Amino acid sequence: MSAPSHDPQPFVSHTDPAALDDLRARLRATQLPDQPEEAGWSLGTDVGYIRELVSYWAEEFDWLGAEKRLNELPRFRVEVGGTGIHFVHARAAGRTGSALPIVLSHGWPDSFWRYSKVIELLIDPGAQGADPADAFDVIVPDMPGFGYSDRLPGAPLDSIAVAGLWAELMTRLGYARFGAAGGDIGSHVSRYLALDHPDRVVAVHRMDAGVPLFTGDVAELTPEERAWIARGASWGQSEGAYAALHRTKPQTAAVGLTDSPAGLAAWIVEKLRAWSDSDGSIENSFTKDEILTNLTIYWLTQTIGSSMRMYSANGAIAPAQLARRVEVPSGFALFPGDILTPPQAWLERTANVVRVSRPARGGHFAPFEEPHLYAEELRAFFRPYR
């Protein structure tokens, strides 16, 4: 990886052939556990699916071809706040200095990969038959500890700190005012951009409202809000073990996941399936090549441990920060396959809501699952703020 610079430097990733040879050798030597008959995905990752995916990863997946396609994006590295940040900076087609800049923040378990399908749709809407006036300058950074950004040697940064880095990055790129959008951890980062830089963020678009947290008198909540918080607690009991481990003991899991590509695949693929609008079949949302592009980025950059540590940092954010209301104009796209869809009353309690949409398809990874729908959402929401 190239050294960070105070000025953005073009970045192209190059994979050492020895690293791919090592990866394939580990995949071919995979030892998988047994699985109860008919268990499927009910106890976690389906071992039969992982066996098939591991074999394809070792024998058929063309990482060099995938890497070449990612390198066709305008990628850069720059030092921000002492940290080397990798980002895509794609300028609006046929525009010079007049398009709205937008910073898109990803979550876990992914990277800039989440937005790789939607970038072209956002910078050149005219090519898809949409209004060319809706074009954006698109900035997609990898968070510290994810993808091709630096892994921090010390304590991980929380979403508040990352929002501060993004504000500095946008200054470095010459953007005084901009839009912000994201989902998952990226929703938190976008929220803090709006909270801490309201003079610069023209509007903020999110795909979720985070994990339910309310420290006041529950009698103040609507029945829908109380039901949503109860669903959140139930989801935490049945589905939240991964987050508890990330928050409390990420290094324990990181040892195995950094050493075993099959283990890494099992840890991530189960979430790709569960959180997408897959109707129970992961192939409905992602091809094997798409999944393995995401996994191979994690494997080659050795960022599974550093990405999980961000949960620990975010778990230490003070409740007073989590309770702040966003006054910047806020929009929400609530995709049907996502986790814990919040009620309207909660959105209005926590943000200055100007638009809520409920697209027909898509889940937690909507920019990748349904890039055309997601692009339409961003165009429609940000149109009044250009």
Peptide bond into 384 cis (omega under 30): no
Question: Number of C-alpha atoms within 13 angstroms, CB side, residue 86?
Answer: 25
In whole angstroms, what is the distance from residue 379 CA to residue 179 CA? 11
Q: What number of other Cβ atoms are within 10 A of residue 130's Cβ?
A: 17
- Residue 184 among the catalytic residues: yes
**What number of helices (H) and strands (E) belong to the chain?**
16, 9
By the 10 Å C-beta count (0-12 exposed, 13-18 middle, 19+ buried), 333 is classed as buried
- Residue 364 among the catalytic residues: yes
Catalytic member of 49, 148, 311, 374? 311
* Helix (H) / strand (E) containing 224: helix 223-239
In whole angstroms, what is the distance from residue 287 CA to residue 373 CA? 19
- CA nearest 187: which of 169, 167, 162? 162
By the 10 Å C-beta count (0-12 exposed, 13-18 middle, 19+ buried), 267 is classed as buried
- Residue 311 among the catalytic residues: yes
Catalytic member of 134, 184, 208, 338? 184
Strand order in the sheet with 9-10: 9-10, 75-80, 83-90, 136-141, 100-105, 178-182, 201-206, 326-333, 351-357
Catalytic member of 188, 205, 246, 364? 364
With vertex at residue 53, the alpha carbon angle to CA 35 and CA 303, rounded to the nearest 5 degrees, is 100
Helix (H, G, I), strand (E, B) or coil at 192: helix
- CA nearest 10: which of 83, 82, 110, 90? 90
> Do the Cβ atoms of 336 and 362 come closer than 8 Å?
yes
Beta strand pairing call for 100-105 and 136-141: parallel
In sequence order, the 6+-apart residues with CB closer than 8 A to the CB of 204 are 179, 180, 181, 190, 191, 193, 194, 326, 328, 329, 330, 331
In whole angstroms, what is the distance from residue 101 CA to residue 371 CA? 18
Q: Which residues are catalytic?
A: 184, 311, 364
